[in-house]
Structure 1
Amino acid sequence: MKRRRFVLGLSTSVILPTLAKAQQRKRRPRLGALITIGSEAQDRIAALNRGLRVRGWTDGENLEIEYHWADGSKQRIAEIANVLVNSRPDLILAHSSPSVPPLLRLTQDIPIVFVQVSDPVGQGFVKNLTRPGGNVTGFAAFEFSVAGKWVELLKELSPNVDRIGILYNPTTTPYDQYVVHGKAAADALGIPLTQVEVRDRGEINLILGKFGERPGGGLVLLPDPFTSIHREAIVDTAARLGVSAIYPYRAYVDSGGLCSYSYDVSDLFFRSATYVDRILRGEKAGDLPVQLVTRYQLVFNLKTAKRMGLTLPPTLLARADEVIE
């Protein structure tokens, strides 16, 4: 009887670890994604999934992806960050600058890959671009110096601009250094630059209306979850008031905006799959260099220019990557 108990105990001690190992082998790694805005998100998620499939990962087969949508709300971003970290995924994908600080405050061990983040070194997310260190790396978006290029383009496409407003929501975008570079370019052109802050949907018409009360105003929009969510209202108001504007993403021009100077956002999500793959296969986030945007696209909407009574310089149109007619 004692021998039977021993054999049963021995068998159990062998079987249970074997079952546990089998279950572990079957367990699919989990990727938690914090997406700050929903507009255009489907295209970007499709690009991420294409990139993952190229590298052998398919959501629902050998990988589980959990998407969380913040809809541009700073409070919602913080709540999702807390939920994600507590759920202990194998990896977190963090979309845009506002999503990174709450995640870094909550975890120093779960790997984080950020996408569409401005100046990650300047914001203190990584030590340097070559060896980020810690548990975070990713794909940077604009460098702050691009604000100077936006100001120069605005003056070039609309020579009559005699004052420039740089528009953003101070609670949802890192605006300080954009303003510094934008002001330097405006000063060089002899044009005053003012900060135009909007914090809710109701302020868009009111504040843009005041800015557009007299001719000669031009706008530079900063990359910002808030302005992206409300891009149609901003585009419509600017065009109606005859205010020339440079936008940070192609989607604004598709919605009727005058001009954008940006990068392919979906391509950035596609490329982010390379780091998701490498980290899931054992590499450390802090050892992977931060990747930068290598190509910008200049896009114009001629229909909007005609609606505003604006003739775009041929030399500028010749440099365009695309012209919407």
Structure 2
Amino acid sequence: MRRREFIAGIAAAAAAPSIVGAQPPKRLHRVGVLVGLAADIDVPVARAFLKPFREAMGRAGWVEDGNVHIDYRFGGALSDLANTKASAAELVALAPEVIYAQGLPATLALRQQTTTIPIVFTQVIDPVGFRLADSLGHPGGNVTGFVTWDFAIGGKWMELLRELDPKLARVAILFNPETAPYAPGLVVAARDAASGVEVIEMRTHDDAETEAQLQAFSRTPNSSLLVIPEPFTNGHRDHIVAQCARFRVPALNSVLGAVDSGALMSYTFVWDELVSAPVDYIDRILKGASPRDLPIQAPRRYELVINLKMAKALGLDMPPALLARADRVIE
């Protein structure tokens, strides 16, 4: 036998796994993630979503490309949901064991593509009303997850605005009807808690329309704005905050990061907790649990954040009782 052939044979034998006592290769699980945002438009929000999700996966023992492979897809432009539907189809075609969906449009798009692959959502409102589940306690299908809030929070937002301004006479509720199909329920809850305050719907579709309506609205005294968090207001957050400051319109804006960017006040779920909570369900599904048996849950905590710097710029005297209840104050 030639020397070169002998050495090659030894190398091959060393590289081959031993039949006796050989350990089977570890299974690489597959998870899909559909972020209902356009990655090129909503980069800060997308990053804020992915960071706590990845950290929670690590704490649960799931290491990317170690024991789990994660396929990420993103939604499309706010006025065009076609890309969200296309991304949902791509993920389903990859046949992951479970898909994590961020937002109602992403969850609905995935549900249209599959009734068998488990879907765990976050940032969804009224999953039963949108026929994603039979009930909150017993979802009954392939979809479960964590809601942002129920419609009653619309009343809580209104109460906070009334407490902010005892002379409040008018509240405009800002949203894009094309990207916020759940807005009517929030508007009804806000009206129910208005107690003599006039409530109007400020429907908008682009920055120019938002600017024009806020300018006109600012001429009415004792008026405040309520911004519904939804895909459009998420993506146009900074413009909305800037126009409220420009036209001196007090606003309760619970879009992620709005208060830190200059909005006056927000009251909503704790972002990192809501984003990372579904990892527990993903972990359980990867280990054999069925989504039909995992109840849909609400956020564990809400927080009130007040931007005192903006209050001073608007010439508002923040009520001491409201300030005392704030979980965080920006000065």
Unaligned runs of 5+ residues in structure 1 are 1-17
1:225-264 to structure 2, matched below 5 A, reads: 225-264=231-270
Residue 153 of structure 2 corresponds to residue 156 of structure 1: no
Find the partner of 1:60 among 57, 65, 73.
Answer: 65
AA aligned opposite 2:60: R
The residue that corresponds to 1:132 in the other structure is: 139
- 2: distance between equivalents of 1:159 and 1:75? 45
Find the partner of 2:307 among 279, 301, 306.
Answer: 301
Paired residues of 1:113 and 1:272 also in contact (CA < 8 A):
yes
1:174-189 to structure 2, matched below 5 A, reads: 174-186=182-194, 189=195
Equivalenced residues, count: 302
Summarize deviations over 1:85-108 as a string: whole Å, max 9, x none.
222222111101121222112110
Structure 1 length-normalised TM: 0.88
Structure whose residues are more often helix by fraction:
1
Paired residues of 2:234 and 2:256 also in contact (CA < 8 A):
no
Summarize deviations over 1:51-80 as a string: whole Å, max 9, x none.
111211011211111221225442221221
Paired residues of 1:119 and 1:141 also in contact (CA < 8 A):
no
Find the partner of 1:70 among 51, 75, 79.
Answer: 75
Paired residues of 1:165 and 1:195 also in contact (CA < 8 A):
yes
Summarize deviations over 1:174-208 as a string: whole Å, max 9, x none.
2121111111111xx20111111111233221222
Percent of aligned pairs sharing the same letter: 39
The residue that corresponds to 1:14 in the other structure is: none
Aligned CA distance change for structure 1 residues 322 and 250 (closer, same or farther; 3 Å): farther
SS in 2 for 1:253: coil
1:14-93 to structure 2, matched below 5 A, reads: 25-37=25-37, 38=42, 39-71=44-76, 72=78, 73-93=80-100
Shift of 1:227: 0.3
- 1: distance between equivalents of 2:118 and 2:32? 11
Residue 161 of structure 2 corresponds to residue 143 of structure 1: no
Paired residues of 2:146 and 2:296 also in contact (CA < 8 A):
yes
The residue that corresponds to 1:166 in the other structure is: 173
- 2: distance between equivalents of 1:198 and 1:249? 16
Paired residues of 2:233 and 2:255 also in contact (CA < 8 A):
no
AA aligned opposite 1:229: G
The residue that corresponds to 2:7 in the other structure is: none
Structure 2 length-normalised TM: 0.87
SS in 1 for 2:304: strand
- 2: distance between equivalents of 1:232 and 1:324? 17
Unaligned runs of 5+ residues in structure 2 are 1-18
Shift of 1:150: 0.3
Summarize deviations over 1:97-139 as a string: whole Å, max 9, x none.
1212221121100110001111212222111111101101001
With 313-322 and 95-104 compared, the bigger mean Cα shift is at: 95-104
Shift of 1:213: 2.7
The residue that corresponds to 2:317 in the other structure is: 311
- 2: distance between equivalents of 1:303 and 1:157? 15
Supply the RMSD in Å over aligned alpha carbons.
Answer: 1.7
